């Protein structure tokens, strides 16, 4: 039996696990602090919930990729990335990322828009326009505080995306002619 065959099978990291390891490269953090890091920017590009963070931290700990520290105030435990976690992250970050899949619920609604009355549809569009204007303002603020050129590039993508969605919303038919 070879050494490789004696090692337990380790599935590759998923993007949520990898993002947590990426944040932990900067130093130990609690689950709450990791959630704060996600909310400061990554959450608009990757869906990470509170339950994801704590579930994935347990998985990472069971795989030896992070180590939990002593419980501190409010029962918060800091997690530290291990050498194995750094290797797993390095392997993950070097893989070609999968292609994106647009998940934009408004597009599904618009696809079947002929089944809605115009006032309802206009209300949906106005709500989405408001939300995208708010996101644009958040990204513009985040751009002023970008920590490095890569974070700045991601935030710039967010700005351009929101501007594109707003331009698209402005060009939609008003629905008055029907």
CATH number for the domain that contains residue 21: 1.10.10.10
Is 71 contained in some domain?
A: yes
Domain that holds residue 63: 11-93
Q: Among 73, 93, 113, where does a domain finish? A: 93
Rounded-to-integer distance, Cα 31 and Cα 49, Å: 11
Q: Is 139 exposed, middle or buried (0-12, 13-18, 19+ CB in 10 A)?
A: buried
Average pLDDT estimate for 31-42: 87
- pLDDT exceeds cutoff 60 at 166: yes
pLDDT in tens, 54-88: 999 999 999 999 999 988 777 789 999 999 999 99
More reliable by pLDDT, 74 or 119: 119
Cα separation of 117 and 102, whole Å? 26
Are 149 and 86 in a shared domain? no
- Structural domain ending residue among the three candidates 34, 68, 93: 93
DSSP strands (E only) in 20-150: 29-30, 66-68, 78-81
Residue 76: phi, psi to the nearest 5?
-90, 135
Q: What pTM does this model have?
A: 0.76
Say if residue 25 is in the same domain as residue 85.
yes
Question: Are residues 74 and 25 part of one domain?
Answer: yes
Q: How many domains does the chain have?
A: 2
Last residue of a domain, one of 72, 93, 114: 93
Percentage, residues of the chain above pLDDT 70: 92
Residue 148 lies in a domain: yes
Average pLDDT, the chain: 88
In this predicted structure, the answer to whether residue 103 has a pLDDT above a threshold of 90 is no
112 and 66 inside one domain: no
Q: For the sheet with 29-30, list strands across it.
A: 29-30, 78-81, 66-68
Domain annotation covers residue 73: yes
Q: What is the largest CA-CA distance in the chain?
A: 75
Sign of the alpha-carbon torsion through 26, 73, 46, 63? positive
Q: Does 125 fall in a domain?
A: yes
117 with 157, same domain?
Answer: yes
The pLDDT, as a whole number, for residue 95 is: 94
**pLDDT tens per residue across span 1-35:** 444 433 444 688 999 999 999 999 999 999 999 99
Round to whole Å and give the CA distance between 53 and 42: 13
């Amino acid at each position: 039996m070879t050494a490789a065959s004696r090692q337990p099978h380790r599935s590759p990291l998923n993007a949520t696990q990898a993002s947590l390891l990426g944040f932990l490269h900067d130093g130990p953090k609690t689950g709450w602090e990791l959630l704060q890091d996600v909310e400061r920017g990554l959450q608009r590009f990757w869906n990470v919930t509170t339950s994801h963070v704590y579930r994935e931290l347990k998985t990472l700990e069971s795989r030896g990729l992070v180590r939990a520290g002593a419980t501190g105030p409010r029962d918060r435990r800091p997690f530290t990335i291990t050498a194995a976690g750094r290797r797993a992250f390095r392997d993950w970050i070097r893989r070609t990322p999968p292609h994106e899949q647009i998940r934009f619920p408004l597009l599904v609604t618009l696809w079947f828009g002929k089944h809605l009355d115009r006032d309802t549809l206009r209300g949906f569009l106005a709500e989405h326009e408001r939300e995208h204007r708010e996101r644009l303002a958040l990204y513009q603020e985040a751009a002023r505080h970008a920590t490095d050129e890569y974070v700045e590039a991601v935030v710039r993508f967010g700005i351009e995306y929101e501007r594109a969605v707003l331009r698209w919303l402005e060009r939609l038919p008003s629905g008055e002619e029907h």
